C-alpha cells in the first residue's frame, strides 16, 4: 500500500514543497506540492527526479575507522566509532586547547542538525571554530543586510515577484540556479506585460536573454554600477529625500562618495554603455515598486559585502523597501542556509542572530544553554579553518554533510590540509571520495527521505522535512549523532554539560532552538510543529503575540538598528583580488547548470540530469578559440596560479572575448585530469574582509590546448545501484590520463559512459585491464583491432542487446571528435533494443546505413522528450511560432514540467515557423 507524504526539496533555497509517494520501502514518485506557497505545485528537473536519487547506491551504511591513513578501513559499531572519535578529540583538546579542533557543516543540514552541531562545538568542546559551507554562498548577504538594515533578515517574499514593477536581477542566473523562481518571474511577466526586468551579469545567460535590459558588466564592477545609478538618481532628484531623512543615516557620506561615479565614469569601469546605465537608473526611478534579486554574483566576491550593501543603498535612497514588490531579496543557494544563520552555526554568529563578538550576546546564549560562559576567542571561518589545519594550528576537524576537498577554493591546498590533519571525522550519507579519502573515521548519516526536521527557504519560510523511508544500514540522523557526540564529549571535557544533549526527537531540538529566537528579530515563539502540520509552511517572525507569520519586513520603516534607522554604507568600488595579466590573461567566472547541484553527490546519480550537459566544458568566446588555434570540443588545460583543471572547450558568444565560464559542479569524483581536484583547483581563496566569503566567482587563468593523441569512449549497462562504484573504478583506472570523465546516461536502462583522452596511446596491458572492468575480456566479447589505423573496438551483447562497449584509438588534437561509429552505437545501447542481424556490422568503423541514427538528444528532461521528436512535431504543426509551440507542448508534453527548456523550444518554434531567432 502506498502513502503520500508532504516534504521539502533538499536542493536549493527556493524550498519547494514536494509530495512523495512511498510504499514504506521505496520512494515511488515525487511531484510538486500545489499547496506549498514557494512553488505552487511545480518542481524543476532536480526536484522531480528525487525518487531516483533515493534508489541509487553509493551510501555510507556503517561506521568505519582506521588508526592511521596507512591502514585499511575497519568496520565498526557505533559505540566503538564514537568512543574512538571522542577519545581523539578530547585528547587533542586537553593537550592543545579547544581551538585546536574545528567543526565544518553544511547548508544541507536541517535546522535541528545545525543547532546541535553548533552546540557540540560551543558547549561540549568550548570553541567558536564552527563554520559551514554556507560561508561559500551567502555570508556576504548576511553582512550586507546587517550593515545596512541591522539584521540578517530577507525583507521580501516570493509574492513580491508578482507585485514588482521592476525586477532588478544582479549576479543571479535565476533560470539555472533557482528555476522555480524563474518560472514565477515568467508567470508574472506574462500576467503583467508592463513589468520590466533588468539583468546585471557578465554573461548573456538564459536569465539575461529574458530581460528587457541586460547590463553585461565586467566581473566585480557591480558597486561602480550601483553607485552610478545612485549618482543619476541624485542628480535627477529621483531619490526619496523624505524617506532618507526620516528612516536612515549616513546618506551624505554616500552622496559624496558617488559624486565622482557618474554613468559616464562607470561605463568605463563596468564596460557597458553609459546610456544603458542611465536606462537602468531611469527605470528604477519610474517603477512604483522595485524588487532586486541577487545571489552568488554579488556574494562570491572579495568585495561581496560592499556589493550587497551598495544595492541595498539604492533601495533605501528611493524608499523601495517595506512595500509589496519593493525590497532587496537575496536568493539563498542552499536549502537551509537560512536555518544555519538562524541557529548561529557559523563562526561569526551565535544562536538567534546573536554576535559572538558581543559579551552581552555571549552571556545570554550561555544562560539559555545553562552553561557558565560561551567561548570568546573568535572562531575560524571556512577558508581560514582549513588554512589553520594546513598550518597545524587546528589539529582535528569534524566534517558533516559536505565535501570541502571539492568545494573550497584552492582545492589542492585543502587536500594538503586534510592530509596533514592529525584526525579527520567525516559524517555523511554519501561515500564521495574526495574528503572521505582523508578521514580516520566515517560516520553514516541519513539523508533526504529518511530525515525529520525543518528547513527555512529564501523568503524566511519554515517548512517541514519528513522521513519516508527507514534509515539504510546503520545510518543515523545527523542530530542523533551530534547529540550522542555532545553527551560523550561534554562528559570528558565539561562534566555536567552532557545533560544538555539529551533529546527525545528532532522536535525537541527544534523547541530548544525556538527558545533562542524569542524576543529577537526572527522570533518564532508563536510557531509549533503542530501548527506547521495544520497550516503548512510559515514565515518568520512568528512571535507568540503577533497573531501569525510575517510576509514582509520593515513595513513600518523601523530597522533593526539601535536607533531604528537603516545605515547607508560608504565604500567604493574595488577590483577583484586577481587581475588578468599577460601570464594569466583570461578572466574566469563560475556558475551553475540547471540540472546539477553543487558537487553532484546527489544529482550526479540521476542519468536524466546529464541529458543536457554530460561533459566538463569551459565556455570561451569564439574569437578566443580562433586566436589560440582551438576547435570547439578540444581538450584544454585551464591553469591558474594555484592549479590545473582539464575540460573540453566550447565556443560561446554569451561571453566577452577575454572571459571564460566554467560550471562549478565538476570534482574529482566525476573528472580526472589536471590536478584531479576539479574546478576548484584553479579558484582563489581571496576573502571579503568582512564576510570572509571567498571569491569563487573570479580568477585569472590561461587556457592551453592539451596535445592529446589518443582517445577512448566506453559504455556499460549497469544496475542503478552499481553506477557509483563503477564510476569510481573506471576513473581510478584513468588516473594519469590527460582528461577523463564518467557520467550516468539516460536510456532504456541505466548506462555509465566514460570518455578519456591521453597524450599518447597507453600500453596494451592498461587497455586490457580497462576492458576487464567493463567485462570486455572473455569469450563473450566481440573484438576488432585495425593495425593500420590503431583503432580498436570491443563490445559485448546480452540477451541480443548491446551491454558494454569501448572504442579506442588515435585522435588529432585539432579534430577531437569521438569515433565515427560512437553516436550510432551509443544510440543502440541506450535504446536497449535487440540488435538482431545488425550484430554482424557492429564492429564496423562507421554505421552501415544512413538510416541508423545516433541517440536522440534530450531537450525536455522532465518528460524525456528528444530533439528529433520535437523538431518533427514542430515541422508538422502549422501556424506561427506561438501556435506551433502550443501544439507540440500539448502533444509531447515537452516544456510542461519545470519549464527550463521552454526558451529553447520557443527558439525552435520560431525557426520552424521561419520567424528567426532573436540573437541577444
Binding site for ligand SF4 (CB under 6 A): 9, 11-12, 14-16, 39, 43-44, 46-47, 178-180
Contact at 8 Å (CB) between 540 and 129?
no
Q: How far is the CB of 597 from ligand SF4 (least distance, A)?
A: 7
Q: How far is the CB of 839 from ligand SF4 (least distance, A)?
A: 43
Q: How far apart are CA 691 and CA 516, in angstroms?
A: 23
Q: How far is the CB of 206 from ligand SF4 (least distance, A)?
A: 14
Nearest to ligand SF4 of 14, 208 (CB atom): 14
H helix and E strand count, the chain: 32, 35
Q: How far is the CB of 611 from ligand SF4 (least distance, A)?
A: 16
Q: How far is the CB of 420 from ligand SF4 (least distance, A)?
A: 36
Residue nearest to ligand SF4 (CB): 47
Q: How far apart are CA 332 and CA 338, in angstroms?
A: 7
SS3 per residue for 410-479: CHHHHHHHHHHCCEEEEEECECCHHHHCCCCEEEEECCCCCCCEEEECCCCEEEEECCCCCCCCCCECHH
Concatenate the DSSP letters of all residues of 747-804 into one string: SSS-EEEEEEEESSPPPHHHHHHHHHHTT-SSTTEEEEE-TTT--EEEEEEETTEEEE
Q: How far is the CB of 184 from ligand SF4 (least distance, A)?
A: 10
Nearest to ligand SF4 of 460, 692 (CB atom): 460
Q: How far is the CB of 615 from ligand SF4 (least distance, A)?
A: 22
Q: How many CB atoms lie within 10 A of CB 340?
A: 33
Nearest to ligand SF4 of 401, 713 (CB atom): 401
Q: Give the torsion through C-alpha atoms of 775, 776, 777, 778, to 10 deg.
A: 80
Nearest to ligand SF4 of 205, 691 (CB atom): 205
Task: Name the residue with cell 554482424.
Answer: 840
Task: Name the residue with cell 506551433.
Answer: 884
Q: How far is the CB of 44 from ligand SF4 (least distance, A)?
A: 3
Q: How far apart are CA 96 and CA 294, in angstroms?
A: 42
Q: How far is the CB of 674 from ligand SF4 (least distance, A)?
A: 29
Q: How far apart are CA 824 and CA 725, in angstroms?
A: 27
Helix (H) or strand (E) holding 710: strand 710-717
Contact at 8 Å (CB) between 216 and 534?
no
Q: How far apart are CA 410 and CA 405, in angstroms?
A: 9
Q: How far apart are CA 670 and CA 735, in angstroms?
A: 12
Q: How many CB atoms lie within 10 A of CB 879?
A: 13
Nearest to ligand SF4 of 336, 589 (CB atom): 336
Nearest to ligand SF4 of 45, 446 (CB atom): 45
Nearest to ligand SF4 of 11, 666 (CB atom): 11
Nearest to ligand SF4 of 43, 482 (CB atom): 43
Q: How far is the CB of 11 from ligand SF4 (least distance, A)?
A: 3
Q: How far is the CB of 180 from ligand SF4 (least distance, A)?
A: 4
* Length of the chain in terms of residues written: 920
Q: Which three cell numbers stand for residue 772?
A: 576487464
Nearest to ligand SF4 of 15, 673 (CB atom): 15
Nearest to ligand SF4 of 16, 60 (CB atom): 16
Which of 474, 411, 471 has its CA nearest to residue 438? 411
* 542-572 as b/e: b if 16+ CB within 10 A: bbeeeeebbbbbbeebebbbeeebbbbbbbe
Nearest to ligand SF4 of 706, 861 (CB atom): 861
Amino acid at each position: 500500500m502506498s502513502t503520500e507524504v508532504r516534504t521539502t526539496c533538499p536542493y536549493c533555497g527556493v524550498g519547494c514543497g514536494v509530495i512523495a509517494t512511498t510504499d514504506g520501502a521505496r520512494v515511488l514518485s515525487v511531484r510538486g506540492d500545489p499547496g506549498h506557497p514557494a512553488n505552487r505545485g511545480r518542481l524543476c528537473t532536480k526536484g522531480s527526479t528525487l525518487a531516483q536519487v533515493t534508489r541509487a547506491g553509493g551510501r555510507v551504511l556503517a561506521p568505519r575507522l582506521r588508526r592511521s591513513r596507512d591502514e585499511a578501513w575497519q568496520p565498526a559499531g557505533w559505540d566503538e566509532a564514537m568512543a574512538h572519535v571522542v577519545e581523539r578529540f578530547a585528547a587533542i583538546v586537553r593537550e592543545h586547547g579547544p581551538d585546536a579542533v574545528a567543526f565544518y557543516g553544511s547548508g544541507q543540514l536541517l535546522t535541528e542538525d545545525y543547532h546541535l552541531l553548533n552546540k557540540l562545538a560551543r558547549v561540549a568542546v568550548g570553541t567558536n571554530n564552527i563554520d559551514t559551507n554556507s560561508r561559500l554562498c551567502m555570508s556576504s548577504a548576511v553582512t550586507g543586510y546587517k550593515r545596512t538594515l541591522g539584521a540578517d533578515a530577507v525583507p521580501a517574499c516570493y509574492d513580491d515577484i508578482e507585485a514588482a514593477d521592476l525586477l532588478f536581477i544582479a549576479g543571479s542566473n535565476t533560470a539555472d540556479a533557482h528555476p522555480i523562481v524563474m518560472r514565477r518571474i515568467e508567470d508574472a511577466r506574462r500576467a503583467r506585460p508592463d513589468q520590466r526586468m533588468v539583468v546585471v551579469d557578465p554573461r548573456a545567460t538564459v536569465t539575461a536573454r529574458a530581460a528587457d535590459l541586460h547590463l553585461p558588466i565586467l566581473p566585480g564592477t557591480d558597486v561602480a554600477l550601483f553607485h552610478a545609478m545612485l549618482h543619476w538618481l541624485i542628480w535627477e532628484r529621483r531619490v526619496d529625500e523624505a524617506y532618507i531623512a526620516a528612516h536612515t543615516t549616513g546618506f551624505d557620506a554616500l552622496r559624496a562618495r558617488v559624486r565622482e561615479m557618474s554613468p559616464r565614469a562607470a561605463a568605463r569601469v563596468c564596460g557597458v554603455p553609459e546610456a544603458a546605465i542611465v536606462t537602468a537608473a531611469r527605470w528604477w526611478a519610474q517603477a512604483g515598486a522595485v524588487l532586486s534579486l541577487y545571489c552568488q554574483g554579488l556574494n562570491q566576491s572579495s568585495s561581496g559585502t560592499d556589493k550587497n550593501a551598495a544595492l541595498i543603498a539604492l533601495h533605501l535612497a528611493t524608499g523601495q523597501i517595506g512595500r509589496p514588490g519593493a525590497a532587496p531579496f537575496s536568493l539563498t543557494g542552499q536549502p537551509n542556509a537560512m536555518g544555519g544563520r538562524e541557529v548561529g552555526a557559523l563562526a561569526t554568529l551565535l544562536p538567534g542572530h546573536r554576535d559572538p563578538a558581543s559579551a552581552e550576546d555571549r552571556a545570554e546564549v550561555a544562560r539559555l544553554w545553562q552553561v557558565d560562559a560561551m567561548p570568546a576567542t573568535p572562531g575560524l571561518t571556512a577558508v581560514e579553518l582549513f588554512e589553520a589545519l594546513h598550518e597545524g594550528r587546528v589539529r582535528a576537524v569534524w566534517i558533516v554533510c559536505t565535501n570541502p576537498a571539492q568545494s573550497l577554493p584552492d582545492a589542492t591546498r585543502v587536500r594538503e590540509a586534510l592530509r596533514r590533519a592529525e584526525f579527520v571525522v567525516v559524517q555523511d550519507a554519501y561515500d564521495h571520495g574526495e574528503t572521505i579519502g582523508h578521514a580516520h573515521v566515517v560516520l553514516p548519516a541519513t539523508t533526504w527521505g529518511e530525515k525529520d526536521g525543518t528547513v527555512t527557504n529564501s523568503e524566511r519560510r519554515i517548512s517541514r522535512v519528513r522521513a519516508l523511508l527507514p534509515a539504510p544500514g546503520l545510518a543515523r540522523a545527523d542530530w542523533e549523532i551530534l547529540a550522542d557526540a555532545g553527551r560523550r564529549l561534554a562528559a570528558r571535557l565539561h562534566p555536567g554539560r552532557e545533560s544538555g544533549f539529551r533529546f527525545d526527537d528532532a522536535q525537541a531540538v527544534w523547541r530548544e532552538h525556538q527558545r533562542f529566537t524569542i524576543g529577537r528579530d526572527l522570533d518564532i515563539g508563536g510557531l509549533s510543529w503542530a501548527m506547521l502540520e495544520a497550516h503548512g509552511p510559515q514565515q518568520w517572525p512568528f512571535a507568540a503575540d503577533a497573531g501569525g507569520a510575517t510576509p514582509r519586513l520593515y513595513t513600518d520603516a523601523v530597522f533593526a538598528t539601535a536607533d531604528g534607522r537603516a545605515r547607508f554604507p560608504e565604500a567604493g568600488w574595488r577590483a577583484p583580488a586577481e587581475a588578468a595579466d599577460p601570464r594569466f590573461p583570461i578572466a574566469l567566472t563560475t556558475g551553475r547548470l540547471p540540472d546539477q547541484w553543487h558537487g553532484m553527490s546527489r544529482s550526479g546519480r540521476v542519468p536524466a540530469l546529464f541529458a543536457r550537459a554530460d561533459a566538463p566544458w569551459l565556455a570561451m568566446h569564439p574569437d578566443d578559440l580562433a586566436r589560440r588555434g582551438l576547435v570547439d570540443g578540444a581538450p584544454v588545460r585551464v591553469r591558474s596560479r594555484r592549479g590545473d583543471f582539464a575540460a573540453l572547450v566550447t565556443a560561446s558568444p554569451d561571453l566577452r572575448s577575454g572571459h571564460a565560464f566554467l560550471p562549478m559542479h565538476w570534482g574529482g569524483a566525476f573528472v580526472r585530469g589536471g590536478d584531479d581536484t576539479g574546478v576548484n583547483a584553479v579558484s582563489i581563496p581571496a576573502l571579503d574582509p568582512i564576510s570572509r566569503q571567498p571569491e569563487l566567482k573570479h580568477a585569472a587563468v590561461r587556457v592551453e590546448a592539451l596535445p592529446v593523441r589518443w582517445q577512448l569512449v566506453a559504455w556499460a549497462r549497469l544496475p542503478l545501484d552499481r553506477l557509483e562504484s563503477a564510476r569510481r573504478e573506471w576513473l581510478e583506472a584513468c588516473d594519469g590520463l590527460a582528461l577523463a570523465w564518467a557520467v550516468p546516461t539516460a536510456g532504456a536502462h541505466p548506462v555509465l559512459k566514460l570518455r578519456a583522452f591521453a597524450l599518447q596511446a597507453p600500453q596494451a596491458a592498461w587497455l586490457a585491464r580497462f576492458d576487464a572492468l567493463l567485462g570486455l575480456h572473455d569469450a563473450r566479447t566481440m573484438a576488432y583491432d585495425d593495425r593500420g589505423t590503431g583503432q580498436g573496438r570491443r563490445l559485448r551483447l546480452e540477451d541480443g542487446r548491446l551491454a558494454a562497449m569501448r572504442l579506442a584509438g588515435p585522435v588529432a588534437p585539432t579534430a577531437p571528435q569521438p569515433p565515427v561509429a560512437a553516436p550510432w552505437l551509443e544510440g543502440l545501447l541506450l535504446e536497449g533494443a535487440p540488435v538482431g542481424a545488425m550484430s554482424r556490422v557492429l564492429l564496423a568503423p562507421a554505421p552501415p546505413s544512413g538510416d541508423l541514427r545516433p541517440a536522440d538528444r534530450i531537450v525536455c528532461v522532465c518528460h524525456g522528450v528528444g530533439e528529433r521528436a520535437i523538431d518533427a512535431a514542430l515541422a508538422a504543426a502549422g501556424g506561427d511560432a506561438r501556435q506551433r509551440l502550443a501544439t507540440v507542448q500539448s502533444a509531447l508534453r515537452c516544456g510542461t514540467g519545470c519549464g527550463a527548456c521552454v526558451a529553447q523550444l520557443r527558439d525552435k518554434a520560431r525557426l520552424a515557423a521561419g520567424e528567426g531567432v532573436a540573437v541577444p
